[in-house]
Chains A and B, each alone.
Chain A
Amino acid sequence: GIQVEQSPPDLILQEGANSTLRCNFSDSVNNLQWFHQNPWGQLINLFYIPSGTKQNGRLSATTVATERYSLLYISSSQTTDSGVYFCAVEDSNYQLIWGAGTKLIIKP
């Protein structure tokens, strides 16, 4: 099956810093999503991005499907950005295959 790898596994930054999270996947996918799981466990869809670049406020994402990777950029980090960021890809059966996540801690 499809393998999804995220890096780095952990990231600690000062408030105001920028960060880049990476997601590599091993095969062609129907779609790719980025999620933020807050400290209470709620998963929030950030981007639905099979290819190209999207931006939403301080967050943006780029997926290069031909090279099988996606990047999530967070600019001017805030403490509320803390949590775990997951990348998940849709396989040919439209089921989600999850990466292990990147745990982000933003210190004030």
Chain B
Amino acid sequence: GAVVSQHPSRVICKSGTSVKIECRSLDFQATTMFWYRQFPKQSLMLMATSNEGSKATYEQGVEKDKFLINHASLTLSTLTVTSAHPEDSSFYICSARWGETDTQYFGPGTRLTVL
């Protein structure tokens, strides 16, 4: 089956620093990648949708200057949390799909802790 990886799996950083999370589709070309955020004991919340070579579409309430998304190739998307604060601590999950009607495949997630 399709495999999506995320790196790092866990990151701890100081308040005010920026953190970059990578999402890679390992065995298929992903025309679309999605970034989700999950708070403890809650469901996934879609943050943004990114299509290769174009700007990401952010969901209402998600600050695009805070969460920078780059989808530079068909196998890589990055999420950068800029000037991170403790309230940004969360579990971030990416997913990828190759066609509009195809299923999404999920990465293992990245647990971000901001001190």
Which residues of A approach B to under 8 Å, CB–CB? Answer: 30-31, 33, 35, 40-43, 45, 48, 86, 94-96, 98-101, 103
- Which of A43, A48, A94, A100 contacts B106 (CB under 8 A)? A43
When chains A and B are docked, how far (Å) is the Cα of A31 from the Cα of B101? Answer: 9
Interface mask (B75-106 → A, CB under 8 Å = 1, otherwise 0): 00000000000000001010000001101111
The answer to whether B108 touches A41 (Cβ under 8 A) is yes
When chains A and B are docked, how far (Å) is the Cα of A100 from the Cα of B42? Answer: 6
Beyond A40-B108, A41-B108, A101-B43, 9 extra complex contacts between A and B, CB < 8 Å:
A41-B38, A41-B109, A41-B111, A43-B93, A43-B106, A96-B34, A98-B44, A99-B43, A100-B43
Q: Which residues of B contact A86 (CB under 8 A)?
A: 43-44
When chains A and B are docked, how far (Å) is the Cα of A31 from the Cα of B34? Answer: 18
The answer to whether A45 touches B42 (Cβ under 8 A) is no
Those of B36-80 within 8 Å (CB) of chain A: 38, 41-44, 46, 49
Across the two chains, which residue of chain B brings its CB closest to A101? B43
- Which of A33, A41, A42 contacts B103 (CB under 8 A)? A33
When chains A and B are docked, how far (Å) is the Cα of A97 from the Cα of B43? Answer: 10
The answer to whether B46 touches A95 (Cβ under 8 A) is yes
The answer to whether A94 touches B43 (Cβ under 8 A) is no
Chain A nearest Cβ from B103, distance in angstroms: 5
When chains A and B are docked, how far (Å) is the Cα of A30 from the Cα of B101? Answer: 9
